[in-house]
Structure 1
Amino acid sequence: MAERTALVVGGTSGIGLATARRLLDRGTSVHVVGRDQTRLDALASTDPALIGHRADGADAAAITAVAQAIGTIDWLIITLSGSEGPGPIATLDLAMLRRAFDAKFWGHLTTIQAALPHLAPDGSITLLGAITARTAMPGTAGIAAINAAVEAVVRPLAAELAPIRVNGVSPGLVDTPWWSALPADARSAYFAQAAAALPTGRVATADDVAEAVVLAATNPNLTGTVIESDGGARLVALT
């Protein structure tokens, strides 16, 4: 089989980077897009086989330029995220929430539009939502709306773009840099509390979720599906 080519947008850290590494282990040619030049420079040292591109997923011209430089893309994987969005609705900064929508939801759609002309006819698109889209955790109405919007496009796009496959992955609690703003002691305490409540008894690693992302991207019989890689978080009450 000819070598496959993957583009991971948001692939310089966390789940995106873990996904890129897993695809590389499969013999895939892997391109990663990130906004932070420092992270891209670090990847050039730690993961020299990954091909880095500096671009913003919400910048159509930049993503178009990356896709044109790559040529044909077999697997487009979008793992854009951001730290903005959480907060109680009574005091939620709606300007901040709009920025969060721009970064994740509009970033996903912009990337899809820009890369679509370069996708292989038997290719795939995989999006990253989150468990907040279907749980009732206080203080998450904003990010729940963002992730629900991302996951809501999976089924209609799978029908519209067929035979290109479109899937999503919905992580739960994952130990990634997303939590870096929380002091280490507070983060460890929260993770321990959450792990005790989760059916799996543990907080996921980025690589746990990356395994599901790779499955969604590469399995030729999956489309229109959101894989819940959440450790059972949707089955219990987390606070």
Structure 2
Amino acid sequence: MASLEDRKVLVIGRGSGIARAVTRALRVAGAQVVVAGRDQAALAEAYDDPGVETAYVDLTDETSVAALAKELGRVDHVVSTASARARGAVAELEHDVVLRSFDVKVLGPLLLAKHFAPRLPADGSFVFFSGSSARKPAAGMLAVGATNAAVDALVRGLAVELAPLRVNAVSPGTVDTGAYDGLGERKKAELFAARAATSPARRVGRPEEIAEAVVFALRSTFLTGVSLAVDGGEPLV
């Protein structure tokens, strides 16, 4: 297992939830972290740590991704937790909402690979985010599942094309983050209770558990082209 001590890791995402847990886990592992997103001011407020820098990037804008790559120069690893969810039954889905989901979670990582791969060392890697909906169809999750399945395909293709750079994904199940806050407290609690009742793990996940998988993927030098399922067995039932 490779060390992350003093390695430079770019993390794309918000200052909360899984992105925050990943950043904290990387700092514990000794990495220097650059967190980037569309709200740099909010990121700077979220992280009070001299080992964490902040930067601006919009994954839907190739000029922005290229500018960030030029600004940062060489980095050792790139992690993208960014997403734009497109939940809803097929009759309710809107064209632009679905496109944005693909734009942020599939095309964004593709652009990161395009512009950062030349700046990574031979033992560098990318970690992107898929999701258990790629493996377990559910009503109202069609576009989310299709997006996640596309991430899985992207990771396999990039692992071949960018070798020896490693490219992997982490594929969470239901995790207790702010991503579900839009449901309201009651519906969120009902959803979590239902998922916990049927999941073989008998609970939903924690952001810290997903972060541990990201650190593992970055450190494991014989792991590439893989989507690590950290989902409590949710797709099995």
State TM-score, norm by structure 2.
Answer: 0.92
Amino acid at match of 2:44: D
Other-structure match for 2:72: 70
Bigger shift: residues 30-39 or 63-72: 63-72
Amino acid at match of 2:19: G
Q: Percent identity?
A: 39
The answer on whether the counterparts of 2:84 and 2:100 sit within 8 Å (CA) in structure 1 is: no
- Give the superposed CA RMSD: 1.6
1:40 and 2:43 aligned: yes
Bigger shift: residues 136-145 or 7-16: 7-16
1:33-182 matched pairs, under 5 angstroms: 33-45=36-48, 47-83=49-85, 85-182=86-183
The answer on whether the counterparts of 1:55 and 1:63 sit within 8 Å (CA) in structure 2 is: yes
Amino acid at match of 1:12: G
Q: How many residues align?
A: 234
Other-structure match for 2:185: 184
Amino acid at match of 2:8: T
Deviation at 1:61, TM superposition (A): 2.3
Give distance in 1, aligned partners of 2:152 and 2:110: 11
Which of the numbers 11, 14, 18 marks the counterpart of 1:15? 18
1:187-198 matched pairs, under 5 angstroms: 187-198=188-199
Amino acid at match of 1:31: V
Q: Unpaired runs of 5+ in structure 1?
A: none
Q: Unpaired runs of 5+ in structure 2?
A: none
Distance 1:127 1:44, change over 3 A: closer
Moved over 4 A (4+): none
Which protein is richer in strand relative to its size?
1
Give distance in 2, aligned partners of 1:34 and 1:90: 32
* CA deviation vs aligned residue, 1:111-169 (integer Å, no higher than 9, x gap): 22122221111100111001111112111111111111111111221111111011111
Deviation at 1:76, TM superposition (A): 0.8
1:214 and 2:220 aligned: no
Amino acid at match of 1:37: Q
Other-structure match for 2:206: 205
* CA deviation vs aligned residue, 1:32-81 (integer Å, no higher than 9, x gap): 11112342132243x44311112212222222222223222111111111
Amino acid at match of 1:128: F
SS in 2 for 1:117: helix
Bigger shift: residues 204-213 or 30-39: 30-39
Give distance in 2, aligned partners of 1:56 and 1:17: 18
Give distance in 1, aligned partners of 2:172 and 2:146: 15
Give distance in 2, aligned partners of 1:184 and 1:11: 21
Bigger shift: residues 160-169 or 35-44: 35-44
